[in-house]
Amino acid sequence: MQWSEIFNFNKKCTHDKVPLDEDIGYCPDCGELIENHWYITRCACCGVKQRATIRNGEVVPDESFCHNCGSKSYTVEEIEKIDCININYAILVREIMKNEITEYTQSWQEAMQTSNYTPKLLR
């Protein structure tokens, strides 16, 4: 263990205060724009839902094999809206949305003046 882990020098926001029922929202702790994604895992062989978890940043089933058919292969599905049926199987992944501005507007004042008028700031 390093000193930064012991004393929490490198605190990383987990965005726990972002509402679960909203697709997109701002985190009140760090101010980032967060998008909620819900995922479930299914057996690739028989299609039975399996409980999902996150390991090494990847959505995987909680168990290493299917209890229905014994297969080890699985598929990951993204759910648009969570409901009461899938809540026991789904996992929430919160992603930070980057705001990349591709278009912007500029305005400027011409350097050449045609009169002696100089604009003043309003109070």
For residue range 30-88, what is the model confidence (pLDDT) as tens digits? 888 999 999 999 999 999 999 999 999 899 999 889 888 888 999 999 998 888 888 99
**How do residues 74-84 score in pLDDT, each as one tens digit?**
999 999 888 88
The DSSP letter of residue 16 is T
How far is Cα 109 from Cα 32, in angstroms, rounded to an integer? 35
Q: How far is CA 123 from the centre of its chain?
A: 44
The predicted pLDDT at position 50 comes to 92
The predicted pLDDT at position 36 comes to 92
In the chain, count H helices and then E strands: 1, 7
Helix (H, G, I), strand (E, B) or coil at 73: coil
pTM score: 0.67
Residue 45, class by beta-carbon neighbours within 10 Å (0-12 exposed, 13-18 middle, 19+ buried)? Answer: middle
Give the residue extent of every domain in the chain. Answer: 17-96
Six token digits for residue 121 = 């700031």
The DSSP letter of residue 4 is H
**More confident of the two residues 117 and 67:** 67
